[in-house]
Amino acid sequence: MYASHFGLTELPFSITPDTSFFYGHSSYQDALNTLLVSVRSGEGFIKVVGEVGTGKTLLCRKLLASLEEDFVTAYIPNPYLEPMTLLLAVADELGVVYGGEANQHHLLKSITAFLVDVHARGRRVVLCLDEAQAMPIETLEALRLLSNLETERRKLLQVVLFGQPELDARLDDPSIRQLRQRISFSCNLGAMSVEDVEYYVAHRLGVAGYRGPRLFSREAVRTLHRASRGIPRLVNVLAHKAMIAAFGEGVHLVGMRYVKEAVADTESTRLRLTPQRVRIIKAAAVLALLLMSAGMLMWRLRA
């Protein structure tokens, strides 16, 4: 595609969560540091919340890649499962041996024996669940019961929940209030500032092998930030399309025009009316009607 045109060894703006492209701007680095500290200190439940496209999966993979060999890790990307199926998924991810006809009691017993054995060998177990906002209430409760396993000093299983803001609403359910009380640390992934987008773009280009002069103009970066609202996935989509557009015209500087073309071609970046903007529009419409009515009244009085 355009890699050789710009002197790249690979495409820099893939939306696949590749940890080699991880950029630790303030929100992400703080979240990663909190996760590492809390996991190493043996906390039971940890929660990471972020909007769609803010990089939760990439952060999860970065966490797993950063843990030392004394950790046993398990990753479940889709926890929209019934309690029994979740236990089966956890057992499979950890490599727990269980019988083919095992019921929930026997399965939990096998997982417990595995956790105790891992602890006896001086290792710890971390379970990461992505898209946790989709977990049924009953499955969240089963997860809490699973996390009850502990020694006098440490939890045998640490759980990290990654989810969209709907996860907070799900955890507000009174039936699982005990789970919410056990969340020791909570992180929120925010959007990037325009300065973050500037460094983010440069970082990904550098990882992809770019060694030339500035590739995206300052106006292009500002347009990227404004159109993407600082969401990393949208920055990737728009930057990728903008580079294709520049490549199509044989130029080596991605200007604002190419980013605008990318925005026009991307449905998720088109103008959205926020509640505040809707109120402003409604207020303006009411004001216009009042002025129109006042004008008609004055005209009738003069007549």
Residue-wise pLDDT for 17-41, tens only, equals 999 999 988 788 999 999 999 999 8
The answer to whether residue 5 is domain-embedded is: no
The answer to whether residue 162 is domain-embedded is: yes
Asked if residue 165 and residue 37 are part of one domain, the reply reads yes
The CATH number for 248's domain is 1.10.8.60
The answer to whether residue 292 is domain-embedded is: no
- Asked if pLDDT for residue 96 goes beyond 90, the answer is yes
The answer to whether residue 115 is domain-embedded is: yes
The answer to whether residue 19 is domain-embedded is: no
Residue-wise pLDDT for 124-154, tens only, equals 999 999 999 999 999 999 888 888 877 667 7
- Asked if pLDDT for residue 98 goes beyond 70, the answer is yes
The count of structural domains within the chain is 2
- Helix, strand, coil % in the chain, rounded to nearest 5: 55, 10, 35
- Asked if pLDDT for residue 257 goes beyond 70, the answer is yes
Please give the residue that has the higher pLDDT: either 83 or 296.
Answer: 83
Query: What gap in Å lies between CA 182 and CA 155, rounded to an integer?
Result: 12
The answer to whether residue 293 is domain-embedded is: no
Work out the mean pLDDT of the chain and round it to a whole number.
Answer: 88
Q: Which amino acid is at 128?
A: C
The answer to whether residue 282 is domain-embedded is: no
Asked if residue 126 and residue 185 are part of one domain, the reply reads yes
Asked if residue 185 and residue 60 are part of one domain, the reply reads yes
Asked if residue 256 and residue 119 are part of one domain, the reply reads no
Asked if residue 160 and residue 77 are part of one domain, the reply reads yes
Asked if residue 178 and residue 65 are part of one domain, the reply reads yes
Asked if residue 212 and residue 99 are part of one domain, the reply reads no
Reported in sequence order, the residue ranges of the chain that DSSP labels E, i.e. its strands, are 45-50, 71-76, 124-129, 157-163, 183-189
The answer to whether residue 212 is domain-embedded is: yes
Asked if residue 217 and residue 112 are part of one domain, the reply reads no
Asked if residue 101 and residue 211 are part of one domain, the reply reads no
Give the domain range for residue 44.
26-189
- In this prediction, what percent of the chain has a pLDDT beyond 70? 88
Asked if residue 130 and residue 86 are part of one domain, the reply reads yes
Asked if residue 168 and residue 94 are part of one domain, the reply reads yes
Q: 57: which residues sit within 8 A by CB, 6+ positions away?
A: 17, 77, 130, 162
Asked if residue 81 and residue 144 are part of one domain, the reply reads yes
